DNA sequence: ATTAATTTTCAAAAAGTTTTGAAAATTCAA
DNA sequence: TTGAATTTTCAAAACTTTTTGAAAATTAAT
């Protein structure tokens, strides 16, 4: 397969993949393009490669920067801004995990704490099932939280090294 | 907090949580309602509790059944169909992982296999970066795949028991 | 200070997704 | 069978999200 075609396929399926994970298609495609670009590229490059508008590129790049996945690069002598993405997939993954934990898991666990002590007859099966469900999720979330914290602190070797530490 | 309010909050935030994970809000809310209901309930119960239309309930229940998270229950002597959800959150999680692995991770890894052997000058930095990125993702995905397989086979004790087996 | 290049913003348009509700299909009891 | 209860379907409406593009803001060179 030619590079041009392989690139197209990679970008398009990384985009589709992203939509299953709450990331919008264009954002994932820009990220894909940056990951396979050896050197930093400009907004215009991205507009051309993906055939999308300037505003679209600009907003999604901003999001990617907020996610900590893309950096603005100043190239001396160049007027335009350039962008580059973290290429190490382990770092990309831990960065995403870190952000999602902060944005989604932590608030959910906080809410469950409040919901757990619902007042009412503990004999009532409705109360009982509610409390059981909430505390089950809390317990599970807590475990997941611990595991993710370890993963995020460790790096390329977390698989062998750090999970063992976790079980020490 | 009263049960009624706690229920409302739980259902609404489980719905919001779901949307971050590619699951639609109503589907997640129905799932939440079923998880905290001690006994099986009908489509009409769900319509009333969540104030949504019959068609909406019907379609989302179908999806939940396809995901293996909800079961149809026949109650002898009752004309209507009843529904119930798996209450064990560990089973819920492994079921979701299993399905998403099948629907998302596996096809992605398959595609990357094809993309990895792009033809062209291995000295060209564009080719080089492309191949490196793709194989990095493949390697990472392969590890994740192995880990998920182990998690899915094990159950409530996977955390302590089975990950150790994985590293044997 | 002026100007041209570049980036950012954001209202409106387009595209995509979810929900409704009523008609069609199915089920089951008499 | 027949008919009432129930479930399913799906086109159209409502809602949500994404994209566009042109105007405003910013930047940097002269």
Contacts of B124 in chain A (CB under 8 A): 3
How would residue B165 be classed by pLDDT, with cut points 50, 70 and 90? very low
In the complex, which nucleotide's C1' lies nearest to the CA atom of residue A57? D19
Q: With an 8 Å Cβ cutoff, is A135 touching chain B?
A: no
Q: With an 8 Å Cβ cutoff, is B102 touching chain A?
A: no
Burial of B64 (0-12, 13-18, 19+ CB in 10 A): buried
> Does the pLDDT of residue A167 top 80, yes or no?
no
Please identify among residues 30-59 of chain B the ones whose CB lies closer than 8 Å to any CB of chain A: 35-39
The minimum CA-CA distance between A90 and chain B, rounded to whole Å, is 7
* pLDDT in the model for residue B154: 65
Contacts of B151 (CB under 8 A, 6+ apart): B94, B97, B158, B162
Give the pLDDT confidence of B68-123 residue by residue, as tens digits: 999 999 999 999 999 999 999 988 998 998 989 998 999 999 999 999 999 989 99
Give the pLDDT confidence of A63-103 residue by residue, as tens digits: 999 999 999 999 999 999 999 999 999 889 989 988 899 98
Distances (CA, A) of B49 to B3, B8, B15, B27, B135: 14, 9, 14, 14, 49
Burial of B157 (0-12, 13-18, 19+ CB in 10 A): exposed
> Which DSSP state fits A134?
H
- In B, minimum Cα distance to A116 occurs at B6
Note every long-range contact of B144-153, with CB atoms under 8 Å and residues 24 or more positions apart, other chains counting.
Answer: B144/B105, B145/B101, B145/B105, B145/B106, B145/B109, B147/A159, B148/B97, B148/B98, B148/B101, B148/B105, B149/B101, B151/B94, B151/B97, B152/B94, B152/B97, B152/B98, B152/B101
The residues with which A70 forms a beta bridge, in sequence order, are A85
Specify the length of chain B in residues.
168
User: Over pLDDT 70: what percentage of chain B?
Assistant: 91
Question: Do the chains contact at A22 and B17, CB–CB below 8 Å?
Answer: no
**Tally: H helices and E strands in chain B:** 8, 2
């Amino acid at each position: 397969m030619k590079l041009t075609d392989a690139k197209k396929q990679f970008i398009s399926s990384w985009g589709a993949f992203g939509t299953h994970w709450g990331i919008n298609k264009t954002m994932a495609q820009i990220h894909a393009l940056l990951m396979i670009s050896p050197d930093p590229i400009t907004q215009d490059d991205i507009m051309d490669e993906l055939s999308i508008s300037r505003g679209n590129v600009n907003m999604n790049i901003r999001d990617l920067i907020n996610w900590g996945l893309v950096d603005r690069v100043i190239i001396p002598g160049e007027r335009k801004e350039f962008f580059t993405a973290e290429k190490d997939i382990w770092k990309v993954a831990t960065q995403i995990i870190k952000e999602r934990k902060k944005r989604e898991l932590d608030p959910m666990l906080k809410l469950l704490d409040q919901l757990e002590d619902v007042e009412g007859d503990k004999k009532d099966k409705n109360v009982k099932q509610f409390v059981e469900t909430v505390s089950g999720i809390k317990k599970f979330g807590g475990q997941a939280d611990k595991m993710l914290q370890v993963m995020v602190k460790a790096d390329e070797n977390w698989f062998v090294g750090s999970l063992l530490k976790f079980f020490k």
